[in-house]
């Protein structure tokens, strides 16, 4: 660094960045070159038209997403965890998806975790330099005792984030399952992982702003992975979230309405059954549909691995 650089508070990259400029997410979008001349209506139309391409890009990765889900379900059934690792927008989206699982599916907060470069403070105030620390990615996973029963999913839409690569290297060393999510083809095979997912969302409306299409693709992929995983783990009955944690009036009301929907009881009776079930929607459904008490409902659910449908089938088989 020259004295001039020091005086002006700027320094050149400390690592080789020669390949970053060629990443798909860093290319200029020819359709948005003149955005600085557009009015609000034109900008909305342009951004919306670009966003409309994201779902197709994610659909192109369906088989790999399904493979990741199968890997994750297998490890979670062994008592393991899914740990998202990312920096910036990628890290925030991982933390968000992890945080939404306990209230939606009644999971232990330790089961799905989000790790962001720079720590949780980076959720609300950008710490962009944290993504350059490769060693921190590995040490943050070592602090969590990552091992063979876990799956680590690195998220780096532009592909080359050192923090994420360091985390994935540590995950491989620990024997954990590994998934890598990026939005550029050159990086799909750059990291030796079990499953690589690369929805190619193309250049952003604002060059390099991966919080836009790449961020939307990330949200779609993460939602798909955790939702499908929870369905396979028996966290739903039909298409209802029967393992929700009824921790507020909205969710307590939803719990009653789920019981009404599945057992044809009125609101007051649903509330009464929910009270008898100790607030467990799953147990309440089995109690009402199978005509059993809470102890028997819990026994059936335990034998059925938590699946309401399977628990009701066991009851029918027993006569």
3-class DSSP state of 237: strand
**Within-domain flag for 113:** yes
Say what the pLDDT of residue 5 is: 53
Does residue 224 carry a pLDDT above 50? yes
Domain residue limits at 115:
54-232
Rounded CA-CA distance 30/263 in Å is 56
Instruction: Specify if 312 maps to a domain.
Output: yes
Phi, psi angles (nearest 5°) of residue 295: -60, -45
End-to-end CA distance of the chain: 80
Whether 144 and 265 map to the same domain: the answer is: no
Contact between residue 182 and residue 158 where contact means Cβ atoms under 8 Å apart: yes
Taking only the tens place, the pLDDT of each residue in 130-152 is 787 889 999 999 999 999 999 99
DSSP 3-state assignment of 214?
Answer: helix
Give me the CATH number covering residue 277.
1.10.8.1080
Residues 180 and 126 in one domain: yes
Burial (CB count <10 Å: 0-12, 13-18, 19+), residue 261: middle
Distance of alpha carbon 142 from alpha carbon 147, whole angstroms: 9
132 neighbors 164 (Cβ within 8 angstroms): no
What pLDDT digit, counting tens, does each position of 153-180 carry?
A: 999 998 888 999 999 999 999 999 999 9
Backbone φ, ψ for residue 34 (5° rounding):
-100, 25
Going by pLDDT thresholds of 50, 70 and 90, the confidence category of residue 12 is: low
**What pLDDT shows up at residue 130?**
79
Residues 113 and 59 in one domain: yes
**Among the ranges given (133-137, 252-256, 259-263, 267-271), the one the predictor scored with the smallest mean pLDDT:** 133-137
The answer to whether residue 218 scores a pLDDT higher than 90 is yes
- Phi and psi, residue 68, nearest 5°: -65, -40
- Residue 98 shares a structural domain with residue 144: yes
pLDDT at 128 over 70: no
CATH code at position 71? 3.40.50.10490
pLDDT for 307:
94
DSSP state, residue 279? T
Asked if 168 and 197 touch (Cβ cutoff 8 Å), the reply is: no
91 and 207 housed in the same domain: yes
CA 302 to chain centre: 27
Instruction: Tell me: do 72 and 166 sit in the same domain.
Output: yes
Question: Do residues 188 and 254 both lie within one domain?
Answer: no
Flag whether the pTM goes above 0.85. yes
- How many domains are there within the chain? 2
Active site residues: 100, 131
């Amino acid at each position: 660094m020259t004295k001039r650089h020091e005086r002006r508070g700027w320094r050149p990259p400390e690592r080789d960045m020669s390949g970053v400029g060629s990443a798909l997410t860093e290319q200029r979008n020819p359709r948005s070159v003149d955005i600085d001349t557009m009015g609000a209506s034109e900008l909305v139309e342009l951004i919306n038209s670009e966003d409309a391409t994201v779902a197709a890009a994610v659909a192109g990765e369906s088989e790999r997403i399904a493979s990741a889900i199968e890997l994750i379900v297998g490890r979670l059934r062994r008592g393991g965890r899914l740990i998202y690792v990312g920096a910036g927008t990628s890290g925030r989206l991982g933390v968000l998806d992890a945080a939404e699982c306990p209230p939606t599916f009644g999971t232990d907060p330790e089961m799905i975790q989000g790790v962001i470069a720079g720590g949780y403070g980076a959720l609300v105030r950008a710490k962009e330099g944290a993504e350059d620390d490769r060693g921190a990615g590995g040490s943050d996973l070592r602090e969590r005792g990552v091992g063979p029963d876990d799956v680590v999913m690195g998220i780096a839409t532009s592909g080359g984030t050192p923090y994420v690569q360091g985390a994935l290297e540590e995950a491989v060393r620990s024997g954990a399952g590994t998934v890598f999510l990026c939005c550029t083809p050159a990086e799909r095979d750059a990291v030796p992982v079990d499953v690589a997912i690369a929805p190619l969302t193309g250049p952003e409306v604002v060059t390099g702003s991966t919080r836009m299409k790449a961020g939307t693709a990330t949200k779609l992929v993460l939602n798909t992975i955790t939702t499908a995983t929870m369905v396979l783990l028996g966290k739903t009955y039909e298409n209802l979230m029967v393992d929700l944690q009824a921790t507020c009036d909205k969710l307590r009301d939803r719990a009653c309405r789920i019981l009404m929907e599945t057992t044809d009881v009125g609101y007051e009776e649903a509330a009464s059954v929910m009270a008898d079930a100790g607030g467990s929607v799953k147990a309440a459904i089995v109690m009402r549909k199978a005509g059993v008490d809470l102890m028997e409902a819990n026994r059936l659910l335990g034998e059925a691995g938590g699946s309401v449908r399977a628990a009701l089938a066991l009851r029918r088989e027993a006569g």
